[in-house]
Amino acid sequence: MRLSPGLLLLLLSGLQAVIQAEEVRAMVGSDVKLSCVYPGTDRFDLDDLFVYWQVSESNAVVTYYLPGNSSTGLEDSHYKNRAHLSLDSMQQGDFSLHLRNVTPQDEQKFNCLVFRKSLELGRILEAVVTLHVAANYSMPVVSTPSRPSAEQELTFTCVSTDGYPRPSVHWINKTDNSQLDKALHNDTVSLNQRGLYDVVSVLRVPWAPSVNVGCCIENALLHQNLTGTETFIGPEAMVTDSPVRPQQEGSAAVVSTLAILLVMVIVAVATGCLCRTRCPRRSYTGARFVQ
Ligand SMILES: *[C@@H]1O[C@H](CO)[C@@H](O)[C@H](O)[C@H]1NC(C)=O
Ligand SMILES: *[C@@H]1O[C@H](CO)[C@@H](O)[C@H](O)[C@H]1NC(C)=O
Ligand SMILES: *[C@@H]1O[C@H](CO)[C@@H](O)[C@H](O)[C@H]1NC(C)=O
Ligand SMILES: *[C@@H]1O[C@H](CO)[C@@H](O)[C@H](O)[C@H]1NC(C)=O
Ligand SMILES: *[C@@H]1O[C@H](CO)[C@@H](O)[C@H](O)[C@H]1NC(C)=O
């Protein structure tokens, strides 16, 4: 059988389907576009196209297009009404998937497969898109130890919720900004009803009159560290420590007052000198009027 050069070219391009790979990040609740675009400026006939989007691992159907717009309802219920293809864009070679209201379960690898009927269902395009899902943790809240007596351990509890992916927890000694030993804290990470992570971390440190710590929740995907801090001040430390702050704040005021006084003295001395040379007697007249 003889093939025209044009058809041969199409067949070859059909055999060597263009394969694309991409990684995308989306926030939970947002909309995302998973890209699957045929390179070049070819136009496509909708009656000639079969387009499938599926989850790589489970082969669950996300959405699809068949010529003639015939059957529907094969989509996985998880994606029903959330996944769309644009027919206008498809005619221009853009088979991208529009996914609305991203959930943590969408953290998957997706396959885009495009076939042409006219090429005996030859595959012309394949894309693999890895979707990474992220959600912002709530600001960590650290609670103070409840009235521990001296010589006991101090227990700090840190809570942060509704994040994704799984966090790393670090505790920081705010006195010297060093990281506290992992053995000092127990982290409990659990998935909540929304499919997001909640974390509770309990830190135990030896009793000290004053302990200032920070609980740092790291979201590696968002390159984000959220830190909540808490200071424990024991009763003994309170007696000696509480006047420190006002003193420090007060000392600045004292310095500026002294500076103003110094300037006034210099001005007074300078005026005094001038007066002594030019008007020796007048300086006392003012004082008498006031009295
Ligand atoms: C596909 O079918 C739906 C509903 O049956 C219709 O609204 C839509 O216009 C059709 N699209 C095409 C391209 O035939
Ligand atoms: C994440 O949450 C924290 C605390 O609620 C907030 O300060 C920060 O701006 C948020 N970041 C983003 C990217 O939403
Ligand atoms: C924090 O650092 C200070 C200074 O290095 C040290 O004295 C203190 O014991 C540390 N606190 C904890 C809880 O490790
Ligand atoms: C963490 O939990 C384990 C087991 O429940 C316990 O043995 C350990 O002492 C705990 N550590 C801290 C710092 O609470
Ligand atoms: C977050 O904190 C960890 C541990 O302290 C550090 O390794 C990481 O670089 C920090 N990330 C950012 C984005 O600041």
Residue ranges of the chain assigned to CATH 2.60.40.10: 5-133, 141-239
Contact status, residue 65 vs residue 50, Cβ threshold 8 Å: yes
Segments of the chain with pLDDT less than 70: 1-17, 69-74, 146-151, 236-291
The pLDDT of residue 153: 86
Indicate if ligand 5 lies below 6 Å from the C-beta of 223.
yes
Give the ranges where 84-234 is alpha helix by DSSP (H).
87-91
C-beta 72 within 6 A of ligand 1: no
- Give residue 9's pLDDT: 44
- Strand-strand pairing, 178-179 and 168-173: antiparallel
Of ligand 4's atoms, which has the minimum distance to the CA of residue 184?
Answer: 13
Q: Give, using CA atoms, the residue closest to atom 4 of ligand 4.
A: 186
What is the 93 CA–ligand 4 centroid distance (Å)?
Answer: 57
CA 72 and chain centroid, separation: 38
What is the spatial distance between Cα 225 and Cα 40, in angstroms, rounded to a whole number?
42
Taking residue 64's Cβ as centre, other Cβ atoms within 10 Å add up to 17
Q: In this structure, are residues 148 and 119 in contact, taking their beta carbons and an 8 Å threshold?
A: no
Write out the two tokens for 93: 């070679």
Fold designation for 141-239: Immunoglobulin-like (2.60.40)
Cα–Cα distance measured from residue 239 to residue 207, given in angstroms and rounded to the nearest whole number: 17
Cβ < 6 A, ligand 4 pocket:
184-186, 202, 204
173 lines ligand 3 (CB under 6 A): yes
Q: Is the CB of 251 under 6 A from ligand 1?
A: no
Residue with the nearest Cα to atom 11 of ligand 2?
Answer: 136
Residue 218 Cβ < 6 Å to ligand 5: yes
Q: Using CA positions, which residue lies closest to atom 10 of ligand 4? A: 186
282-290 vs 244-278: helix crossing angle, rounded to 10: 120
CA neighbor of 37 nearest in space, from 69, 85, 70:
85
CATH superfamily of this structure's domain 5-133 = Immunoglobulins (2.60.40.10)
